[in-house]
Amino acid sequence: MDIDIVSVFPEYFDVLKLSLLGKAQDNGLVRIAAHNLRDWTHDVHHSVDDTPVGGGAGMVMKPEVWGECLDELLGVKPGGEGSDDVAGATADANDTVLIFPNPSAPLFTQRDAAELSHAGRLVFGCGRYEGYDARIPEYYRARGVDVREYSIGDYVLNGGEVAVSVMLEAITRLLPGFMGNPESIVEESYTGGNALLEYHQYTKPALWRTVAVPDILLGGDHGKVYRFRRDEALERTSAIRPDLIQALDCKQLDKADRKTLMALGWDVSQAHPRRAA
Ligand code: 6GU
């Protein structure tokens, strides 16, 4: 997978050389290049932003600089002012996705990470300040580029750099050959259609200070261990993320799942669980 990141702080992405993502680059599984947006400016101040049209606080990233940068990275031939040339997208653009982190966009989920792990090339554009001119994604979308905007959660960051790091980690760990143990991906929270939070994990010793591992996990009865963990996952999800319980497909729940959910106050007689009256 080829990854390009555009930012006014490209050094921010030096950390991607560490850990598993660093190893994946050494192995040739991914190639990551971080570019400085200011390299595409022409003025002495290397300015990338300007005041918002219509007024308001802060600064907005200018479309011209992003345009020159993205035309080059995506191989899009610029269509000038009033141009109706919309056939400029690159030949290999069909496996390229252009992604802008944006706190006002739809939430980035595991489903998006899984889908994007199949792309051949990802180009991330990090906004700073109050955001970027809305015509940038609009323009490239109109030229046939697959453009996405995502938020990583309901809180505000100073720029897209951290959000890009988060999305990149979620996407690249799903690449075949990235993880030492691919099974650990299958069992995780949010994988598959019926997502639950994970059950608690323990290692040895069975008694640490005052706190013991639950007896069932030490008994060696795999059926009982499965049920214990499944019930714990249902209980924790019900308490912490009831929205995930409401999204479950009741048809995919077994009898014991239903019994546990009913005991937790859920009505499981319809397509999806609802709070029992
Ligand atoms: Cl993608 N960008 C910024 N600046 N803040 C955020 C975000 C993105 N997602 C959540 N907060």
- Three-class secondary structure assignment of 8-49: CCHHHHHHHHCHHHHHHHHCCCCEEEEEEHHHHCCCCCCCCE
Cα-to-centroid distance, 100 and ligand 1 (Å): 10
Q: What is the pLDDT of residues 47-68, one digit of tens each?
A: 999 999 999 999 999 999 999 9
Atom of ligand 1 nearest to the CA of 150: 1
Cα 212 from Cα 125, distance rounded (Å)? 48
CB atoms < 10 A from the CB of 7, how many?
Answer: 22
Number of domains present in the structure of the chain: 2
Question: Quick one: 233 and 173 in the same domain?
Answer: no
- According to the model, what pLDDT value does residue 186 have? 64
Residue to probe by mutation, ligand 1, list 102, 158, 165, 169, most atoms within 8 Å of CB: 102
Q: What is the pLDDT of residues 209-268, one digit of tens each?
A: 999 999 999 999 999 999 999 999 999 999 999 999 999 999 999 999 999 999 999 999
Element (H, E) at 243: helix 242-246
Q: Taking residues 137-146, report their average pLDDT.
A: 97
Question: Quick one: 47 and 148 in the same domain?
Answer: yes
Domain that holds residue 21: 2-183
CA dihedral 138, 140, 141, 144 (to 10 degrees): 160
Comparison of pLDDT for 92 and 30, the residue scoring more: 30
CB atoms < 10 A from the CB of 225, how many?
Answer: 16
Question: Quick one: 165 and 249 in the same domain?
Answer: no
Q: 237 CB less than 6 Å from ligand 1?
A: no
Q: 155 CB less than 6 Å from ligand 1?
A: yes
Query: Of 117, 151, 183, at which residue does a domain stop?
Result: 183
Let me know if residue 32 belongs to a domain: yes
Q: At 242, which CATH number? A: 1.10.1270
CB 276 within 8 A of CB 267: yes
Atom of ligand 1 nearest to the CA of 153: 10
Question: Quick one: 171 and 266 in the same domain?
Answer: no
Q: 20 CB less than 6 Å from ligand 1?
A: no
Q: Taking residues 123-141, report their average pLDDT.
A: 94
Cα-to-centroid distance, 24 and ligand 1 (Å): 26
Q: At 77, which CATH number? A: 3.40.1280.10
Q: What is the pLDDT of residues 150-205, one digit of tens each?
A: 999 999 999 999 999 999 999 999 999 998 777 777 656 676 668 999 999 999 99
Let me know if residue 192 belongs to a domain: no
Question: Quick one: 47 and 178 in the same domain?
Answer: yes
Let me know if residue 211 belongs to a domain: yes
Query: Of 183, 198, 230, at which residue does a domain stop?
Result: 183
Q: Which residues pair with 125 in a beta bridge?
A: 6
Question: Quick one: 221 and 176 in the same domain?
Answer: no
CB 100 within 8 A of CB 132: yes
- Is residue 208 over pLDDT 80? yes
Structure tokens at 201: 């994990």
CB atoms < 10 A from the CB of 115, how many?
Answer: 14
- According to the model, what pLDDT value does residue 183 have? 73
